[in-house]
Chain A
Amino acid sequence: MSADHAAAAAAFVADEPRTHWHDGALWFVRAKRDKAAQSLPEWELLRETASQIKGHTISQLADYLEQFERNAVRLGAQVHWARNAAEHNEIVLGILERHGVKRLVKSKSMLTEECHLNPFLEQHGIAVVDTDLGERIVQLAGEAPSHIVLPAIHKKKEDVGEIFHRHLHTAAGASDPKYLAEAARQHLREKFMEADAGLTGVNFAIAETGGFVVCTNEGNADLGVSLPKLHVASMGIEKLIPRAADLGVFLRLLARSATGQPITTYSSHFHGPRPGGELHIVLVDNGRSEILASDEFRRSLNCIRCGACMNTCPVYRRSGGHSYGTTVPGPIGSILAPARDAAAHGSLPFACSLCGSCTDVCPVKIDLHHQLLAWRKEIAHRGLLPRSKRWSMKLASLVLGNSRLYTLAGKLARAIVPRLPRFMIYNRLNAWGQKRELPVFPQQSFRELYRLSREQGNGEQVATDFTDAADERPKA
């Protein structure tokens, strides 16, 4: 396992005030989501409907993709198929080079992050500007987004002020959000004016019409593709829905789940190129077919990238998106990343307390925490568990599988541990004891007390006595 979430998370948590700030910022979004969801009595029906529409689409994905292609072409778009990230990047580069594009503006697209399109294009002499404010902040900082909806959620306004001062020459020490947003607006406007082409992601592509929808709050997708003549739209093949009528279900769920808004400020519909322009749609697989082939993990393709599982995840909120070392972090990212490379991302399904909050918050009802558990099994079966985990579980199974051995082990522990000097219990080897006391070991196990109480035929008395004794447990 190369990327270890626990180590990166421990580094993040070391700055406790900042971690609490991060947790609080995301909890605020989660609370807004709760309010928005509660405002719709039919919320659970919407989730179920969305889940079924996605499940149905995924089950006939090939047919729907071809239907979408036919209809998109009929509308005048050009459709490209990319098996993987490299093919996607080559296709996009080819289109841009044919048009002599030197400057590209992008609205938010996690897919192009997944494909590492920006550095690839920059190597080929094309300047790429992310126009989503959050994405522009992390782009200027030379970082990856730490959240799929709130890419710069890990940055405080003072951090943003510092980055803008360095790159956009705002006043030193200025951190007023209004001032900084205005500076970004002026800066981006210039970039929009200069752009030779615009690239967008796709939130929903509609098979029966060949059109697609891009959801933003800043209107940057519209600006980016309305000025230049060339529009490239990159989409994962799982973004399809069958009918235009299905769109309402998803638009009602997406923004409420993501940020607690009833709908994103802009839901931009694209049906073919605008007059005199060109529209290219790049359909990207990049491992999705393999997930589709898996009975266990297929449902993860339902994801509409709302980010609600991140906002609600108590681990994500306290470890930050970068601790996952993947394009999509958090619960859904911890399911998608091992599908790509289980050895590299093997620690992610364990970066989870299995609390199940992600499953309950997910607008398309992905059973996220069960999928994370399924990944743990997959990782163990592929022999990718660290040796310490493997052997401790073998030993535990051996002891717990035999009630005599189990009773003996318990007895020994209860006899020995309380007699050990503190330094032998609380040291670097004891991860439990870094911040926590061990339980106060009782003299007798439940089964011993229970047997005694049955022998005396007086469970009440023994039990009461014990409760009193337990109350006088020494405090550490």
Chain B
Amino acid sequence: MLRVGLFIPCYVDQLFPQVGMATVRLLERLGVEVDFPEAQTCCGQPMANTGCTDEARPLAVKFLQIFKDYEYVVCPSGSCAAMVRHHYAEYLAGQPGFEELRGKTYELCEFLTDVLKVDKLPGRFPYRVGLHQSCHGLRELRLGSSSEIVGPAFGKARQLLELIDGVELVPLERPDECCGFGGTFAVNEAAISAMMGQDRVRDHEQAGAEVLTANDMSCLMHLDGLIRREGKPIRVLHIAEILAGAET
């Protein structure tokens, strides 16, 4: 049995526990042994993205200590997984266990498609679903093909959603435009951030989405905040909730 260290983003832990629980449920149903090391807090991305490397470093060091002995590290966030894989070298290069950590840290969907090689999933979700492709998952982890690059089209989240009975993915006008969350950008540039989010929501709306989903709860927190403020009839769910069989 595969043993996985579960890496739950800090804001998911504190604000969206249902996403963490859905991740556990999904992995366990697929026969994976899940362990959540309670010493974990945050990967340090908010500090790193503000330029505060001195503040981010201790969190990276702590992360390595906590997760280095697991066979795999799995995270229901492309952005946080990308932090470990693509931005930790600055803090941890040369440290024992770091190269291995980098290689064995996966975003949830790619863990399912690339490691577990999942080709069927139970459950039924009879809704029109709009898939928001979170940028760091898309352009840092390459969980899918981005619209700028010329090459074969693919998408790991899409591939998994298509396994769920009843899911109808709706076509968007701009399939991979940023939602405008961007971490501290959401408050530093609040006006632009909000308009970017409103524009994304409108695209899902015109496509007829009933449910809006993504690999990253941070994008969804932002979009859901706009949707609820404007009273729009779109429901927001993390992809783990759909894949784990959210009955609605």
The answer to whether the Cβ of A350 comes within 8 Å of any Cβ in the partner chain is: yes
9 additional contacts (CB under 8 A) given A446-B12, A466-B18, A467-B21: A353-B182, A354-B185, A355-B135, A396-B46, A397-B55, A403-B40, A434-B191, A437-B224, A439-B224
Task: Say yes or no: B148 contacts A380, CB within 8 Å.
Answer: no
The answer to whether the Cβ of A115 comes within 8 Å of any Cβ in the partner chain is: no
Q: Give the contacting residue for B22; candidates A9, A359, A463; CB below 8 A.
A: A463
Which residues of chain A are near B135, meaning CB under 8 Å? 353-357
Task: Say yes or no: A380 contacts B51, CB within 8 Å.
Answer: yes
The answer to whether the Cβ of A318 comes within 8 Å of any Cβ in the partner chain is: yes
Task: Say yes or no: B21 contacts A403, CB within 8 Å.
Answer: no
Among A63-71, A139-147, A266-274, A371-379, the stretch in contact with B: A371-379
Task: Say yes or no: B194 contacts A397, CB within 8 Å.
Answer: no
Q: List 17 A-B contacts (CB under 8 A).
A: A6-B188, A10-B190, A20-B199, A44-B150, A44-B151, A318-B192, A356-B135, A356-B136, A357-B177, A393-B46, A397-B44, A434-B190, A435-B226, A437-B224, A437-B228, A464-B25, A470-B18
Task: Say yes or no: A397 contacts B229, CB within 8 Å.
Answer: no
**Which A residues, 97 to 119, have Cβ-Cβ distances below 8 Å to chain B?**
none
Task: Say yes or no: B41 contacts A434, CB within 8 Å.
Answer: no
Most buried by B among A14, A361, A463: A463
The answer to whether the Cβ of A136 comes within 8 Å of any Cβ in the partner chain is: no
Distance between Cα atoms of A447 and B181 in the complex (Å): 25
Among B56-64, B92-100, B101-109, B156-164, the stretch in contact with A: B56-64
Q: Give the contacting residue for B190; candidates A389, A432, A453, A460; CB below 8 A.
A: A432
Which residues of chain B are near A450, meaning CB under 8 Å? 20-21, 24, 36
Which residues of chain A are near B174, meaning CB under 8 Å? 27
**Which A residues, 1 to 36, have Cβ-Cβ distances below 8 Å to chain B?**
5-6, 9-10, 13-14, 16, 19-20, 23, 27, 34
Task: Say yes or no: B17 contacts A353, CB within 8 Å.
Answer: no
Most buried by A among B39, B49, B150, B247: B150
Name B's A-contacting residues (CB within 8 A): 8, 10, 12-22, 24-25, 28, 36, 38-42, 44, 46-53, 55-56, 58-59, 62, 135-136, 138-140, 146-151, 174, 176-178, 180-199, 221-222, 224-226, 228-229, 231, 241, 244, 246-248
Task: Say yes or no: A463 contacts B21, CB within 8 Å.
Answer: yes
The answer to whether the Cβ of A360 comes within 8 Å of any Cβ in the partner chain is: yes
Interface of B is mostly: helix
Task: Say yes or no: A314 contacts B180, CB within 8 Å.
Answer: yes
Name the distance in Å between B142's Cβ and chain A's nearest Cβ: 10
Name A's B-contacting residues (CB within 8 A): 5-6, 9-10, 13-14, 16, 19-20, 23, 27, 34, 37-38, 40-41, 43-44, 312, 314-315, 318-319, 350-357, 359-361, 373, 375-381, 385, 389-390, 393-394, 396-397, 400-403, 406, 410, 413-414, 431-432, 434-439, 441-442, 444-451, 453, 459-460, 462-464, 466-467, 470-471, 475-476
Q: Give the contacting residue for A355; candidates B39, B53, B182, B224; CB below 8 A.
A: B182
Which residues of chain A are near B14, meaning CB under 8 Å? 410, 413-414, 445-446
Cβ-closest chain A residue relative to B189:
A6
Task: Say yes or no: B139 contacts A357, CB within 8 Å.
Answer: yes
Task: Say yes or no: B56 contacts A314, CB within 8 Å.
Answer: no
Cβ-closest chain B residue relative to A33:
B148
Task: Say yes or no: B229 contacts A437, CB within 8 Å.
Answer: yes
Q: Sorted from nearest, which 5 A-B pairs have the closest CB atoms?
A: A353-B182, A436-B225, A380-B51, A376-B51, A446-B20
Task: Say yes or no: A463 contacts B194, CB within 8 Å.
Answer: no
